Amino acid sequence: MSLDFAQIVPYIPFIVNGIKVTLQVTLLSVVFGFIWGSLLALIKISNIRLLKGFAVAYTSVFRGTPLILQLTFVYFATPQITGYNISAFEAAVLTFTLNSGAYISETIRGGIMAVDKGQWEAAKALGVPYRKMMTDIILPQAVKNILPALVNETIALLKESALVSTIGLADIMQNANIVKGTIFRYFEPYLLAGLLYYVMVMLLTWVARVLERRMRRSD
Amino acid sequence: MIKIQNVSKSFGSLDVLHDISTEIGRGDVVAIIGPSGSGKSTLLRCMNLLETPTKGTIVIDGQAITDPKADVMRIRQKIGMVFQHFHLFPHMSVLDNLTYAPVKVKGLSKAAAEAKARELLARIGLSNKADVFPNRLSGGQKQRVAIARSLAMEPQIMLFDEPTSALDPEMVKEVLDVMKGLADTGMTMAIVTHEMNFAREVADRICFLDGGRLVEDAPPSEFFVNPKSERAKQFLEKML
């Protein structure tokens, strides 16, 4: 066994620099995915047949095919079909948004259904219109219930974002790949990359715990 | 004020209400009583369209609310409802529970809604609870806040669906007292209740339901002293 950490020291900043892309892709996708997922969830609990069918089929397709295939598809097929030369970053955020939207929509739908029926009735009895009832009364309670699940989804997304290296985006994973190819050593760069992911996930877990505690003050 | 004409309601093949007709005048307090499963709550819930009658019409203030074209949201703003399990909004403070609908639904200014809310809280004796969350309140306090929340919309009618049934016995009185005070202000009220003494004391009329039918509709002096139907007699024997 030969380990030589001295060799990768000059490359550490380069790998660490990948955090920027990893975080950008993750955060943008989580935010857009949450909005898109909320919309899908609202459609799923609505009575609009056509949209409902679409939302269900959509979720089924995005959960039923590999993420790496979706990413490849969006990145390479978009220029072919639309003529628009999509950048790797755009393709990454778009794919992860579409994909996490599918997962998040199911989580949110479950959260909405779990809100006490009495809350809907109390809001209705006060004459609160549907949209305000959802945004002010039902969704805040639903989100509180599903916060742990949303954090899990974010953590999963953060880790899966490593897939963007396959379309050449310079995230942590891709930069580790590059260092590997430069110094011909595997263990050290990937160990560092793994460490970076792990620390980020731990940080996220901690933030979630604090957030959850704050939101639980009304229990 | 409320005219109920030949109202029937079924859930699938289950008939819950059969051809009910009655009237609640302005300022009347009507207690709806009867065994469980007799359709009391369903009848009450038809009055603000939380349930839609299968047949018949309900006219409130000259407006047929059972008309499919009726503006349900607007109608509900005029009718307050208090539930057995309170259903306060758990993620809002007591004050926000009271100001939410007036601000967001009626378009009142925040300041006006808050002034009104504080006045209501003073009336139910909970001024010191304005900023706490509902989970910090006892059952009786929750129900008083729920009543105040409905009153904040300045309704013309108040519906109560077993408002004391989920309360510990020692908290029943504080809620009934608030309701009594409300009746004294001339509020039109329909109350589904098992509190016979309260019904006798406060109600102008008793509607006795059994098996989805309105079996008796009489002033308490008549109903409690001299019930006409066998079912009502049996029911009262068990309750009193």
pLDDT tens per residue across span A36-84: 999 999 999 998 999 999 999 999 999 999 999 999 999 999 999 999 9
Quick check: B82 pLDDT over 80?
yes
> What radius of gyration, in Å, describes the C-alpha atoms of chain B?
18
Query: CB distance A126–B50 less than 8 Å?
Result: no
The ipTM value here is 0.92
Asked whether the CA dihedral A125, A126, A127, A130 is positive or negative, the reply is: negative
- The first and second tokens of residue B77, run together, are 């703003």
| pTM of the predicted protein model | 0.84
Quick check: A1 pLDDT over 80?
no
Find the closest chain A residue to B98 by CA distance. Answer: A126
Measure the CA–CA gap between B75 and B68, rounded to whole angstroms. 13
In chain B, what residues touch A137 (CB-CB under 8 Å)? 89
98-157 in A: which are within 8 Å (CB) of B?
A: 116, 118-119, 121-122, 124-129, 132, 136-137, 140-141, 144
Percentage of chain B surpassing pLDDT 90? Answer: 93
Angle between helices B110-123 and B94-104 (to 10 degrees): 130
- Give the pLDDT band of residue A23 (cuts 50, 70, 90): very high
Find the closest chain A residue to B150 by CA distance. Answer: A126
Pick the closest to residue A34 from A120, A119, A86, A96 (CA basis): A96
Please give the full DSSP string across B134-194, using - where no structure is assigned: GGGS-HHHHHHHHHHHHHTT--SEEEEESTTTTS-HHHHHHHHHHHHHHHHTT-EEEEE-S
Q: Which residue has the higher pLDDT, B204 or A145?
A: B204
- The first and second tokens of residue B122, run together, are 């003073």
Domains of chain A: 24-170 (1.10.3720.10)
Asked whether the CA dihedral B44, B46, B49, B52 is positive or negative, the reply is: positive
- Burial per residue of A12-45, b for 16 or more beta-carbon CB atoms within 10 angstroms, e otherwise: eebbeebbebbebbbebbbebbbebbbebbbbbe
Give the containing element (helix H, strand E) for A9: none
Mean pLDDT of B75-103: 96
- Give the pLDDT band of residue A214 (cuts 50, 70, 90): confident
Quick check: A122 pLDDT over 80?
yes
Rounded to 5 degrees, what are φ and ψ at B81? -135, 135
DSSP state of B34: -
- The first and second tokens of residue B119, run together, are 């006045």
Quick check: B110 pLDDT over 70?
yes
In chain B, what residues touch A132 (CB-CB under 8 Å)? 104-105
Measure the CA–CA gap between A189 and A193, rounded to whole angstroms. 6
Task: Provide the 10 A C-beta neighbour count for residue A96.
Answer: 26
Pick the closest to residue B28 from B9, B48, B2 (CA basis): B2
The 10s digit of each residue's pLDDT in B162-221 is 999 999 999 999 999 999 999 999 999 999 999 999 999 999 999 999 999 999 999 999
Preferred mutation among B85, B87, B135 to probe A, highest tally of A CBs within 10 A: B87
Task: Provide the 10 A C-beta neighbour count for residue B141.
Answer: 22
According to the model, what pLDDT value does residue A9 have?
Answer: 87
**End-to-end Cα spacing for chain A:** 55
The 3-state DSSP class for residue B26 equals coil
According to the model, what pLDDT value does residue A6 have?
Answer: 84
DSSP state of B47: T
Nearest by CB to residue A126, choosing from B74, B86, B101, is B101
How far is Cα of residue A36 from the mean position of the Cα atoms in its chain? 11
**How many angstroms away from the CA of B214 is the closest CA of chain A?**
25
Cβ-based burial of A89 (10 A; exposed 0-12, middle 13-18, buried ≥19)? middle
- The first and second tokens of residue B164, run together, are 């004391």
Query: CB distance A126–B89 less than 8 Å?
Result: no
Mean pLDDT of A190-214: 91
